[in-house]
Chains A and B, each alone.
Chain A
Amino acid sequence: MTGTARPRRSRRAGRRSLAWRPLALLGVLVAVGAWWFARPSTPEAQGQRTRPVLLRATDPRTTIDFTLVLRLPGQAHLTRFLNELTDPAAPNYHHFIDAAAFGARFGLSRSGLSRARAQLTRDGVEVTASYPQRTALDVRATAGTIDRVFDVRLMDWRGADRQIFHAPLRAATVPGDLSGVVSAVAGLDGTTLVTDDSASIQGLTPTSARSVYDIDPLLAGRVTGLGENIALVEFAQFDQSDLDGFNQQFNLPPVTPRNVAVDGGATDDDPSSVAEANLDLEVAHEIAPGAGLLDYNAPQTTSSGADNFGAVLDQITADGQARIVSDSWGSCEADTPRADIQRDEQALEAAAAHGISVFVAAGDTGAYTCQEAAESNHSLSVSWPSSSPFAVSVGGTSLSVTSTGAYAGETAWDDTLEQSGGGGGLSLVYNRPAWQNGPGVANQFSTGMRQLPDVAAAADPWSGWDVYTGGSMTVAGGTSAAAPFWAGSIAVVAEYAGHHGDGQLGFVDPMLYAIAARPPQAPAFHDITLGANRYYPASPGWDFATGLGSPEVTNLARDVVAYLKR
């Protein structure tokens, strides 16, 4: 608190003071001015959104890209393997495997895949892409063929934002001759459009961010994330000139992210989408200026409107160039078709087996993620893929800094009127993994399902991040910023661990919980105990609003080294 104003001479006291308030309010309202009167009230202005409108049956000649989720015959072995991968006492601890080994060990046999391809060709379904981890086949067919082969009726719909998308009237059925190979058909239902989790108002400089989250000592020791690559999942093209402008503004080293186009590459050039891509890259770079940046970009959706997350992540794993991934995009878990979730989850499992950590924004509407798409939806809900047990879910805080830029405190991001806050809650789909344990994890809200977020960082737009986009500086927030911040932080931690003789960090979530549960000699987290996320309160230890908290990165690096040397 600074500059507490002395109360002026009071006119009335106590409740009777209300007598002057009507006049005061009237004065304020007069100031609103005549500007308002000419403006008609629209449904959008009142926060009303419309349900999708059914238009017609999809033209049977329309070509549609979608995905066949492949069975993983070795799923039971895979589950055991993934548990052992992060268990220091297990024989498979940190025995990471690449995408091809994952496919050979847990996926379908080559002959099974060949038979499936042949059957699909006979059915008129073209295979457009496959992955060495054998998690999915990207396919293409006409709407008529899809209706016939998968026993659906594809329809055209008009969404709330007037976009036209396809969605079947009933769930697709895998035909008998493919049922031994294909477990689900994903990407046919375009109802769920992914949204980026960012918002904007005003800012945090790289210098301040590094100071408040205790990264400076590592950077001073020339630990900058060198040797690490951060892959960013993007559905829009970033702007190199903006990135250059950002680096120039803050005297950061220049960087040119490597462009990796998936499914033809991103085509979205809407300024808000470009700003999202710029934000992700700039935040990751300012935290880990020595790390390489890989821009994995794809169209935001397939032709039917489903998201491309699984395809992008499978590509990242198959390429094997990055151990750290940041994803600022997500959708309401409850509204995401289970087949799409299954497809993404297999990609996440393959990434974890490869030792990749995927940091995913937990959403910006607090405990009510699904309200982002439908304001009247008041059900407690979480964001997908943030709710996956193989994602590091990143929630949001409101950060306060002193006048000198030092850490002054943090609360859970909780803006009731704006309907915003850090995402967090319980998954409807996945159980709480065994490693999600520690002080505060089992609490009055726990049900046995996956709990999120895992960690948090500054996200409130009021205390948001400086971003250069559209040729000028602006400020942006949202868990969109918190996810690449964490990705950058872990890149720095990974380099530090490497200098101390430790190898790959692997999927870091189990390690973060183990570190948080240890006696806090050098606490790795700011435990955030004030605020809420519109429902769940922040509290000592882990909580549904901020998870384990925000990082003290230098302490975290030391704790990681100590943990790996046990």
Chain B
Amino acid sequence: MSLLAEGAPRAPSGGLGRLVVHVFGLLFLVLIGLSILTNLLVAPVVVSPCASGQPCGAPPTVPAVIRETGWRSSRYGFTLEYPASVVKVSQQTPSGVVLAVNLSGKGGAVTVEGFGPGTTPAEAISHQVGALGGVSQLAADKNPAHQLLGAGVGYLAGAGRTYVGDATSPQGSQPVSIASQAASDGRVTVSATVVGATSDSGYRSDLYAVADLIINSVRWHG
């Protein structure tokens, strides 16, 4: 404490001065302690290489990371990641984000949004898809080949639905496929809806690969 006191600002006067010095010293110690703790907590997990002839120890069990660009919902706390090379944030609020996907000049969109725990995954999907603008003739996709098997978000099982519609733009109208999934961890419900043109299966596959990556990357309380 004395060493710290020497480095602290001089006390204004008398007993009050000593109190200020002690308080500052204590704060300084707390700050150092906190910084050490923070360093320990956020430092990257270092996996020691195995030495030949020696046991390697337990394999690392850190959660998966994808090394993409991250986004966090300030309202609900969930996070997601997206490959910035082909995805840009188009719009965002504290609850959700619209990600524009650009694959060799061909577009698509992935909307991810949080809802309160009172909203079921099915309700979240209905809400999100019902609010899609610029899409007319919206109808359930009855093609069984397009049914979403194993639907969910962030590796939590949930609900999934597919739709077809026509997107209207200045160039005219074009058919689009819409796939929406949602899941809940009991505290927040997250829905993710992908919209893309239907007429090119290769493009759609690429769009879905990006969308799967984003949807799987959702972590519930990041």
Nearest Cβ on chain A to B103's Cβ, whole angstroms: 10
Name the B residues within 8 Å of A403 (CB-CB): 67
**Of B72, B197, B209, the contact of A5 (CB 8 Å cutoff):** B72
Number of B residues near A (Cβ < 8 Å) is 100
Interface-lining segment among B3-11, B26-34, B105-113: B105-113
B151 close to chain A: CB less than 8 A:
yes
B146 close to chain A: CB less than 8 A:
yes
Q: Report whether B179 and A417 are in contact in the complex, using a CB–CB cutoff of 8 Å.
A: yes
Q: A28-B90, A378-B147 are in contact. Are A522 and B57 (CB under 8 A)?
A: yes
Q: A1-B79, A25-B134, A402-B44 are in contact. Are A36 and B111 (CB under 8 A)?
A: no
Can you list, as one digit per residue, whether each of A419-430 has a CB less than 8 Å from chain B (1) or not (0)? Answer: 101000000000
Q: Report whether B64 and A37 are in contact in the complex, using a CB–CB cutoff of 8 Å.
A: no
A217 close to chain B: CB less than 8 A:
yes
Complex alpha-carbon distance, A406 and B45, angstroms: 10
A32 close to chain B: CB less than 8 A:
yes
Given contacts A378-B149, A416-B152, 16 further A-B contacts (CB under 8 A): A4-B79, A5-B89, A20-B93, A24-B100, A26-B134, A27-B90, A45-B200, A45-B204, A408-B60, A408-B62, A409-B61, A414-B150, A417-B209, A534-B149, A535-B150, A554-B50
A:2-52 near B, CB below 8 Å? 2-5, 7-8, 10-15, 17-18, 20-37, 39-41, 44-49
Q: Report whether B52 and A221 are in contact in the complex, using a CB–CB cutoff of 8 Å.
A: yes
Q: A8-B92, A39-B200, A530-B155 are in contact. Are A521 and B55 (CB under 8 A)?
A: yes
**Of A7, A26, A33, the contact of B106 (CB 8 Å cutoff):** A33
Name the B residues within 8 Å of A44 (CB-CB): 201
- Count, A-B residue pairs, CB within 8 A: 291
Q: List 13 A-B contacts (CB under 8 A).
A: A4-B70, A13-B75, A14-B75, A15-B127, A33-B105, A34-B172, A37-B172, A45-B199, A398-B64, A400-B65, A416-B160, A418-B205, A552-B56
B71 close to chain A: CB less than 8 A:
yes
Residue of A nearest to B96 (CB): A17
Can you list, as one digit per residue, whether each of B38-80 has a CB less than 8 Å from chain A (1) or not (0)? Answer: 0000001001011111011111111111111111111100010
Residue of B nearest to A216 (CB): B49
Complex alpha-carbon distance, A183 and B51, angstroms: 54
Nearest Cβ on chain B to A430's Cβ, whole angstroms: 24
Q: A1-B65, A1-B222, A411-B64 are in contact. Are A32 and B108 (CB under 8 A)?
A: yes
Q: Report whether B131 and A21 are in contact in the complex, using a CB–CB cutoff of 8 Å.
A: yes
Q: Report whether B108 and A409 are in contact in the complex, using a CB–CB cutoff of 8 Å.
A: no
Nearest Cβ on chain B to A50's Cβ, whole angstroms: 12
Complex alpha-carbon distance, A534 and B151, angstroms: 7
Name the A residues within 8 Å of B175 (CB-CB): 41
Nearest Cβ on chain A to B129's Cβ, whole angstroms: 11
Residue of A nearest to B47 (CB): A406
Q: Report whether A7 and B94 are in contact in the complex, using a CB–CB cutoff of 8 Å.
A: yes
**Of B111, B155, B197, the contact of A32 (CB 8 Å cutoff):** B197
B:174-222 near A, CB below 8 Å? 174-176, 179, 181, 194-201, 204-205, 208-209, 211-213, 215-216, 219, 222
Name the B residues within 8 Å of A1 (CB-CB): 65, 70, 79, 81, 219, 222
Complex alpha-carbon distance, A408 and B204, angstroms: 29
A520 close to chain B: CB less than 8 A:
yes
Name the A residues within 8 Å of B67 (CB-CB): 2, 400-403, 408
Nearest Cβ on chain A to B171's Cβ, whole angstroms: 4
Q: A2-B67, A418-B209, A520-B58 are in contact. Are A26 and B133 (CB under 8 A)?
A: yes
Q: Report whether B49 and A40 are in contact in the complex, using a CB–CB cutoff of 8 Å.
A: no
Name the B residues within 8 Å of A3 (CB-CB): 69-70
Residue of A nearest to B100 (CB): A28
Residue of B nearest to A538 (CB): B155
Q: Report whether B144 and A376 are in contact in the complex, using a CB–CB cutoff of 8 Å.
A: yes
Name the B residues within 8 Å of A12 (CB-CB): 93
Q: Report whether A522 and B56 are in contact in the complex, using a CB–CB cutoff of 8 Å.
A: yes
A95 close to chain B: CB less than 8 A:
no
List 5 tightest A-B contacts by C-beta distance, closest first: A22-B133, A26-B134, A534-B150, A375-B145, A409-B64
Q: Report whether B134 and A29 are in contact in the complex, using a CB–CB cutoff of 8 Å.
A: yes
B132 close to chain A: CB less than 8 A:
yes
Q: Report whether B132 and A25 are in contact in the complex, using a CB–CB cutoff of 8 Å.
A: yes
Complex alpha-carbon distance, A402 and B45, angstroms: 10
Q: Report whether B55 and A555 are in contact in the complex, using a CB–CB cutoff of 8 Å.
A: yes
Q: Report whether A10 and B56 are in contact in the complex, using a CB–CB cutoff of 8 Å.
A: no
Q: Report whether A462 and B213 are in contact in the complex, using a CB–CB cutoff of 8 Å.
A: yes
Q: Report whether A416 and B148 are in contact in the complex, using a CB–CB cutoff of 8 Å.
A: yes
A531 close to chain B: CB less than 8 A:
yes
Q: Report whether B72 and A22 are in contact in the complex, using a CB–CB cutoff of 8 Å.
A: no
Q: Report whether A416 and B181 are in contact in the complex, using a CB–CB cutoff of 8 Å.
A: yes
Name the A residues within 8 Å of B219 (CB-CB): 1
Q: Report whether A214 and B56 are in contact in the complex, using a CB–CB cutoff of 8 Å.
A: yes
B169 close to chain A: CB less than 8 A:
yes
B35 close to chain A: CB less than 8 A:
no
Name the A residues within 8 Å of B144 (CB-CB): 375-376, 378
Q: Report whether A24 and B90 are in contact in the complex, using a CB–CB cutoff of 8 Å.
A: yes
Q: Report whether B200 and A36 are in contact in the complex, using a CB–CB cutoff of 8 Å.
A: yes
Q: Which of B106, B135, B144, B150 has the most CB of A within 10 A?
A: B150
Residue of A nearest to B205 (CB): A418
A440 close to chain B: CB less than 8 A:
no
Q: Report whether B211 and A417 are in contact in the complex, using a CB–CB cutoff of 8 Å.
A: yes
Q: Report whether B157 and A532 are in contact in the complex, using a CB–CB cutoff of 8 Å.
A: yes
Residue of A nearest to B115 (CB): A15
Name the B residues within 8 Å of A26 (CB-CB): 133-134, 167-169
Name the B residues within 8 Å of A409 (CB-CB): 60-65
Name the A residues within 8 Å of B137 (CB-CB): none
A488 close to chain B: CB less than 8 A:
no
B13 close to chain A: CB less than 8 A:
no
Name the A residues within 8 Å of B198 (CB-CB): 41, 45-46
B2 close to chain A: CB less than 8 A:
no
A107 close to chain B: CB less than 8 A:
no
Complex alpha-carbon distance, A525 and B160, angstroms: 33
A338 close to chain B: CB less than 8 A:
no
